[in-house]
Amino acid sequence: MIMYQSYSELEKTITILESLIETYQKESANIDKYICLQQNRLEELKQEKTKLTKEFSETEGKLNKVFYYRIIKGLTQEKTAEKLGMSTRQIQRIEKNIKKLSSDVVMSC
């Protein structure tokens, strides 16, 4: 048995707890909606990643291959150079072009 100093204190505590529970239930519904939205967004991003991975893995050209290995696969410049039979310096130059191209695209939007 929980002891209270007075009956009114007990009533007050009950009212507070009921209010808290109601608030938590409302927040829970909002959290569930937010989680659902985030799960949908995550699924969209995973699909986009799969699509990009497939497209870049099948493309030709040094620029696309460098982008694929460096950005999508996450390889170092050295590993990318090995895979493509190039020097690290060549990879650096191609990456410089990729950055220039991406900044040009952003500027044109």
The answer to whether residues 48 and 79 belong to one domain is no
% of residues, the chain, pLDDT over 90: 27
Q: Which of 58, 74, 97 is the last residue of a domain?
A: 58
pLDDT tens digits for range 35-44: 889 999 999 9
Helices H, strands E: what count in the chain? 4, 0
13 CB-near residues (< 8 Å, 6+ apart): 4
Q: How many CA atoms lie within 13 A of 95 on its CB side?
A: 16
Q: Please give the C-alpha separations between residue 78 and each of 75, 92, 95, 100, in angstroms, as whole numbers.
A: 8, 10, 13, 21
Is it the case that residue 58 has pLDDT exceeding 60?
yes
Grade residue 59 by pLDDT with cuts at 50, 70 and 90: low
The answer to whether residues 104 and 69 belong to one domain is yes
Looking at residue 57, its pLDDT comes to 66
pLDDT tens digits for range 2-43: 666 777 888 888 899 999 998 888 888 888 888 889 999 999
**Which range marks the domain in which residue 25 is found?**
8-58
The answer to whether residues 54 and 73 belong to one domain is no
2 within domain boundaries: no
pTM for the model: 0.46
The answer to whether residues 30 and 17 belong to one domain is yes
The answer to whether residues 77 and 98 belong to one domain is yes
